[in-house]
Amino acid sequence: MIVHNAGSPKVKLFSFYDGSFEKLKDRFVETIKDDYEVNINYNKTFSNKTWCGGIEVWLYKTQYVIDCIKNNMGDVIVVADIDMQFFKSSSHLVLKCMESFDLAFQRNPRPWNVAQPICIGFMGIRCSHNTSNFFEKVLQEIKSTGCHDQQIIVELLGANKRSQPQCEFAIKWNYFPKSFWAYSSDEKWNLTRPINIVLHHATGAKDEATKLIQMDEMAEKMKHPVRSKIADTILIFTRVLKRKLKKLLLRGC
């Protein structure tokens, strides 16, 4: 276990990794800008990992969340995936978003992803018997159905507006600001990417090497965020215009 302290911690930040994500763990720790108390668990390399982790990872992560809650009753904590880098201070925003809520999540607002409008890669959790029971239910559902942990959480919360929330938990949840950015939120067009990203979750990439390339590209963009945003927008509209012109020319033929 790695424990990182920088001053008096406001929020405990928990994560885990396996042998295939060593460099991502280093990037995660090196870029933290806050006085978080960081606890990172090492786990043996997961077998049969898939694009979204796979059932072995989902079971491990959910049990890990439950253990973190039970060991920190009454506190606000963060449980984060290891494929993240930080550009600005975030702990004060976590506390603000959690003021009257039990859980908080990254947004996953792709228009074609109505079924999963939240991303559980960076979760704020108010540790209580209620949230512990909620994740116990998530764990039970993973074991019985084999479904993606994120999809189960969405269904239990009624977050996709197609399902009704499980009233037995009465969970109050919130979104973090858009600046808590996941790449898969906007991977196709990059138009809604905030100019000043607080943290970047390298989703939409299947392995460590691809995630690190994505992180390097984003770190370079954040050196000149306004300029890079304008350049990306011009590039995107140029591509769209070329496609439309090509279609018009083909019709003319």
What domains are there in the chain, each with its CATH number? 2-177 (3.90.550.10)
In the predicted model, what is the mean pLDDT of the chain?
85
CA angle, corner 173, sides to 145 and 123, nearest 5? 70
Percent of the chain with pLDDT over 70: 83
Cβ atoms of residues 39 and 1 within 8 Å: yes
Percent of the chain with pLDDT over 90: 59
Residue 112 scores a pLDDT above 90: no
Confidence of residue 127 (pLDDT cuts 50, 70, 90): very high
Going by C-alpha positions, the residue among 116, 118, 134 that lies closest to residue 126 is 134
80-99: average pLDDT: 96
β pairing state of 37-42 and 12-17: parallel
Residue 1 scores a pLDDT above 70: no
Least confident of 9-23, 86-100, 215-229: 215-229
* Digit-coded pLDDT (tens) for 145-203: 999 999 999 989 987 665 556 657 789 999 999 999 988 766 555 556 788 899 999 98
pTM of the model as a whole: 0.84
Least confident of 8-22, 40-54, 85-99: 40-54
Going by C-alpha positions, the residue among 135, 179, 132, 130 that lies closest to residue 156 is 135
Please indicate whether residue 216 or residue 204 has the higher confidence score (pLDDT).
216
Going by C-alpha positions, the residue among 188, 84, 66, 180 that lies closest to residue 130 is 66
